[in-house]
Amino acid sequence: MKKLLLIVAALATTTFSVTSHAQFAKPDDAAKYRQGALTVMAAHFGRVGAMVQGKVPFDAKAAQENIDIAVAMSKLPWAGFGPSGEGATLKNAAKPEIWKEQAKFKDLSEKSQAELIKVQTAAKTGSLDAIKAAFGAAGASCKSCHDAFRI
**Per-residue pLDDT for 92 more than 80?**
no
Instruction: Kindly report whether the global pTM for this prediction surpasses the value 0.85.
Output: no
pLDDT digit string (tens) for 32-75? 999 999 999 999 999 999 999 999 999 999 999 999 999 999 99
DSSP code string of the chain: -HHHHHHHHHHHHHHHHHHHS---SSHHHHHHHHHHHHHHHHHHHHHHHHHHTTSS---HHHHHHHHHHHHHHTTSGGGGGSGGGTT--SS--B-THHHH-HHHHHHHHHHHHHHHHHHHHHHTTT-HHHHHHHHHHHHHHHHHHHHHHB-
Residue 13 has what pLDDT? Answer: 39
- What are the structural domains, with CATH classification, of the chain? 27-81+98-149 (1.20.120.10)
Residue 18 has what pLDDT? Answer: 38
pLDDT digit string (tens) for 101-139? 999 999 999 999 999 999 999 999 999 999 999 999 999
**Per-residue pLDDT for 5 more than 50?**
no
